[in-house]
Structure 1
Amino acid sequence: MQKSEQLLHYIESLDVGTRISVRQIANSQHVSAGTAYRAVKTAQARGLVATIDRVGTVRTDPRPRSTSAQLTFADLVRVIDGRVLGGSDGLDKPLDKFVIGAMKTSAMGHYISRNSLVIVGNREDAQALALESGAAVLITGGFDTTPEVMARANAAALPIIATSHDTFTVATMINRALSDQAIRRDILTVASLYTPREEASFLQLPATVGDYRSMAKASGHADIPVVSVSGRVVGVATSITVNERKDAAPIDRAMERHPAVVKTGESVATVNHLMQGRGLNLVPVVDDAGLLIGVLTRATVLAQLQETPEPEHLPATIADQLDATLSPVRPLLGGTAAYRVATAPVMTNKFGALNVGVLNGLVTSATSRYLRDNGRQNVLVDNITLSTLRPIQLSARVTIGLKILDLTRHGAAFDIDVTVDDVVAAKALLTCQLLERN
């Protein structure tokens, strides 16, 4: 076995979530830093390790354990552009739900469960309670925490993450990410079905036709990938390609060269189309470097596609919920359109005023609603500048009035007035792109 393969086996033997480094591998395996670096890069290409901002390189699972995608705390860090303050060993844990800690600690315990995420500000008592209950912590507003809380997070392997965003904005981002993950659950990919290299049958050069026949008889598979000394896929041997060949013949003269290969991110529907179109019973699964990481058989694909689970009704996102609070009213004087807002307590901050993040979302939803109602379905907001003139209380009568500054085939600009009891409380300038489907 080559040294590079020995290093890859060493990396595979590490527990998922273990932090690794080039220096650590070089020292423990007695190899040069260059050799260790190349092994880490190969492992990264195979999905065995990943680099996480502000954490480092960690051992990861190259394929999901099931077809249902789950958001992990490491994913969360990327979604909200967060900083990991402690508990980095638990970044691979799944995020089941999130709780906004906007109540006294005496009332919070009932709502916190293990592997949940508690979103709080600079409240060390609430942070400590969350960790004691087995939950991770997300600190909003750009605040840090105390060394004692960080030590608890490290001991419990529960991430404690900081972000500069406010609570509502973070909740919106997480809600959207959870919704996206639920949608991905229906997009079955090769990653969830393929047989990994360690469990698959393959031949390595220099092999012979006799080696193929022995392996085919033992495995029950007639199609067997052929790889080079470095592990790169160079062909596929089949019962047709070896027909009438002598056992001593080299396999590289009795195989299909340049075979079809797939990668882990490709959809199973696409692979099924490929297999049917070319009459393939097996395709090698490769990484970005063309190295064999597993195989996928047509029988496995067909068995999965024959399953017809009940369609899942996805929960409404926060953006959808905000859109539902808008109802059209007669336009304001000189306006183009206007929408009344049905406010709710969850939209307010601790002072009882409408949260600025909520107001941003309402303005965006009102603009998108107007454009959709006028036949422009695909709206991408470029920029929104919001200026608040006075706080908006929960009991106020809030109206969002739109004035068109520019409307073309490809873009639009709006001047927006947010009025409270007919008095302007906020103004916004919003520009967006109008995308057309091909």
Structure 2
Amino acid sequence: MSQENTEPTLTKHEQILRHIESLRVGSHISVRQIAKDLDVSEGTAYRAIKEAENKGIVSTKERIGTVRIEKKQKNLDKLTFFEVAHIVNGEVLGGARGLNKSLNKFVIGAMEQAAMLRYIDAGSLLIVGNREEAHKGALQNGAAVLITGGFDTSPEVKRLADSLALPIISSSFDTFTVASMINRALYDRMIKKKIMLIEDVITRTRIYALKATSTVAEWRKLVEQAGHDRIPVTDEWNRVIGMVTAKDMEGAASEQLLEKLMTRNPVTINLRTSVASAAHLMMWEGIDLLPVVDNGRKLLGTVSRTEVMKVLQYIQRQPQMGETFDDQIWEPFSEFVQDERIGYRGQMSPQMTSQLGTVSSGVLTTLITQAAYRIAERNKKGDLVIDNISTYFLHPVQMESELIIKPEILEVSRKFAKIEVSLYSEDRLVAKSLVTAHVFDDQ
């Protein structure tokens, strides 16, 4: 006796979705082709493709079309070549199967090919004009290619891109414009990653607070339990109306009420405040603990400077999603010690130079800023917020010359720092800068 097949019959809509899921990543999808292959109406095919897009298994971009992609994750933290193509309004000439690969860094091909290939490795993106040999060399070294100026490339290069699953993209924009677009996108990803809100870190298991009618003796007892001396004061509806600290209690009798001693209308934050904003607020106001309130100023909890700084330090230790201009500029530099002073030494690559063959002032300013950050981190554990940079550029820095950076902290306090940064090339001073900044520690 034969056994009946109990598997339910798939609708045409479900058949199309299953067919799309079976396609390899990078495959182009069209309504007309789906309708023809599965013998369905174009309307049915269109609706199924839209649902597949909502499910994150296909994506549609202008000039690229609809492409089968890996299912999107909830937390996309990397820039893919597919997104690069969309950012620069590019056309994919070949290597579509590699569109879902991640971009590690980009290299501007404004140099001879032998020199250029030294900076290219797997996961790179070479931004270059109409140079077929450079296209081929980049692909052979595991890098994708972005051709600027709207140029095409040869069928041979396209076949190579397809075989290696490395995208080759053409954009009508010039090299500087596409590099700026990609750099901005990388920064945006890094910024989004670093934005953590107070609601992500606040603990509400125990809230320490007092009433205006509480006494100094009650404050002292609560301080022992809380482990800190900054206690919010709330009214009968749990709204924050004040704050008391050890400074407020100096010379106060044990039976004295907090109503006469508290600081009224204290600084507060809400759950949607970013951790970085809370840290900066603590720095500017010189306070170590902030009450967290809702829209009606009702107390939800507190966050301390120590808690906030631990979160910021954790974020800073996380791996980055891709290299930005600043990362690439600083990458060749290594630390050295001379006469018990920290310095940094590196060679100026062709990518850092202007059309005149000298290192641009923008690159030198970036190096000055990076050196200031690093010397501050070594001497005082905390964060640095630069207020002003005054720089004198004395001599040009030549391409591929060695640059030595010597930062020195002139003055540092709990809130401020002055840092002098000197740049030397070929045994002469080429630039000197004075950096003034706000600092705040994690204590």
Report if TM-score (shorter chain) is over 0.5. no
Structure with max Cα Rg: 2
Q: What is the TM-score normalised by the length of structure 1?
A: 0.44
